[in-house]
Structure 1
Amino acid sequence: MSLTIYGCYRSRATRVIWLANELGLPFTHVPVIQAYRLPDPQAPGVPLHTRSAEFLRINPNGHIPSIDDNGFKLHESLAINLYLARKHGGPLAPQNAQEEGLAVMWALWAATECETHALNLQFHLAAYPPEKRKPELVEAALAALPGPFSVLDRTLAEGNGYVMGGRFTVADINVAEVIRYAKPATQLFDAHPHVKAWLDACQARPAFKAMWQARDAEAA
């Protein structure tokens, strides 16, 4: 197998690399930086980025991550993970049609119910300098996320501490990589102890730690 993962670690490519680590998949990593992070994406000698002609031949949408799996190109991190889990099987993959549906449902749930608000907490409570932060986006996120967090908390309480199937699966990776953006809002996790314990357990896995170590080593 020849799997290539395009994207920098400081992006949603972390989800795909974490899963590849869990599955023990060999892969080639091609760093691709987001164009908005460059002062001038058109300047000579800039690194490969999301608007580079070379990368646009891989993903004409100009977003990361993308993969090339023996000539099969796929975009969107959550979809990539579902594909890789299905292809390579094992306990991380859905075991039947019901689990297939649940894995897709949880991926869509994370993207639609949580991700925008969680990212706003990450950016406007931690990542951005104070002058760029927008308190109104934090307030909106803190108003919106308790409901989804309660849904997830109840699911984990009833599911042996996992999102589906009573075991660690691709669904946990996809949801955890969205929920972690909300970590600066510690009150959300204090109010939902099953979510807190689950995310801590996910991030204690060796495959996650290996991915995060590489992320920390990447230039900011």
Structure 2
Amino acid sequence: MLTIHGVTRSRASRVIWLCHELDLPFRQVPVIQAYRIGNADAPDASPNTRSPDFLALSPAGAIPVIEDEGLVLSESLAITLHLARKHGGPAGPQDYAEDALMTQWSIYGATAIEPDALTIMMLHNRGTLQSADDAGIVAEAAERLVRPLKVLEDHLATHAYLVGGRFTVADLNLAEIVRYAQGHGPLMEPFPAIRAWLSACQDRPAFQAMWAARLAEPE
């Protein structure tokens, strides 16, 4: 059985969502980020990204990591693309061209969108006051995101999904990245196609199953 190392409140959410899409059984080892616990090196500490057993699997100390029939693989996008290729079905590529396009969109999200979207998620406190410094950082990140989101908006204005006219691993990967900036209303408002696509992705039962598990974990 596939083993996923990582709590759901991490990029492991992408892998868990895909497993639900694929009806793929998995075992989850809830390795938590070391920075989230008081003394990660204590003998009785919860399994975390500095635990020796985990570092033996992931010298980089980053979650998620999977074990799949002898393959140890890290990096969430590499994992989701691997599982989609291996298990096929509508979420995976049907040919080499689709495989290339799914990889392209996933890498585009990771390089052009994710860094600034993460900044917004970490610093944009919806409905609460921010420091002037944090507000300025968020505003700059949002400004940088306009151009890459416009590329995504233009594509989704004429395509229901990113590749092949159906929901695939490319949509899953991008939706989880764009989610980081989803709470920034002024940024997202000019992009109706993205908002509609994101809603369709997040309405899927597999996303809802992952999200329920994520909300059940401690913050």
TM-score, normalised by the number of residues in structure 1: 0.95
- When structure 1 is superposed on structure 2, of 91-100 and 131-140 the one drifting more is 131-140
Q: What is the CA deviation profile of residues 143-186 of structure 1, one whole-angstrom value per residue up to 9, with x for unaligned ones?
A: 11111111111111222x11111110000000000000001211
1:73 corresponds in structure 2 to 72
Number of the residue aligned with 2:47? 48
Distance in 2 between residues matched to 1:104 and 1:144, nearest whole Å: 23
Partner of 1:136: 136
Under a length normalisation based on structure 2, what TM-score does the superposition of the two structures give? 0.95
Runs of 5+ unmatched residues, structure 1: none
Q: Write the distance in 2 (CA, Å) between the matches of 1:174 and 1:133.
A: 30
On the 8 A contact 1:92/1:168 being kept in 2, the answer is yes
Give the 3-state SS of the residue equivalent to 1:39 in structure 2: coil
Q: Residue 25 of structure 1 corresponds to which residue in structure 2?
A: 24
The letter of the residue matching 2:140 is A
Q: Which runs of 5+ in 2 are unaligned?
A: none
CA distance in 1, matches of 2:154, 2:114: 19
Q: How far apart in 2 are the matches of 1:129 and 1:66?
A: 36
* Contact 1:35-1:49 within 8 A present in 2 as well: yes
Whether contact under 8 Å (1:125, 1:133) holds in the other structure is: no
**Whole-Å Cα distance in 1 between the matches of residues 124 and 156 of structure 2?**
27
Q: Supply the distance in 1 between the matched residues of 2:92 and 2:124 (Cα, whole angstroms).
A: 35
- 1:3-152 matches, within 5 Å, as 3-126=2-125, 130=130, 134-152=134-152
Alpha carbons 1:33, 1:47 under 8 Å: kept = yes
Q: How many residues align?
A: 218
Does the 8 Å contact 1:49/1:55 carry over to 2? yes
Query: Which is worse superposed, 130-139 or 79-88?
Result: 130-139
The AA in structure 1 aligned to 2:150 is S
Contact map agreement 2:153 2:191 (CA 8 A) in 1: yes
Which residue identity does 1:121 align to in structure 2?
Answer: I
Q: CA deviation at 1:95?
A: 1.1
Q: Does the CA contact (< 8 Å) of 1:6 and 1:29 recur in 2?
A: yes
Measured after TM superposition, the shift of residue 14 of structure 1 is: 0.2
- Post-superposition, which runs of at least 4 consecutive aligned residues in structure 1 deviate over 3 A? 127-133
Percent of pairs with identical residues: 49
The answer for the alignment partner of 2:183 in structure 1 is 184
| Residue identity matched to 1:137 | I
> What letter corresponds to residue 146 of structure 2 in structure 1?
P
CA contact (8 A) 1:124 1:133 kept: no
Q: How far, CA to CA, are the matches of 2:162 and 2:174 in structure 1?
A: 8
For the aligned residue pairs, the C-alpha RMSD in angstroms reads 1.6
Higher mean C-alpha deviation, range 134-143 or range 104-113: 134-143
SS of match in other structure, 2:31? coil
Paired residues of 1:155 and 1:163 also in contact (CA < 8 A):
yes
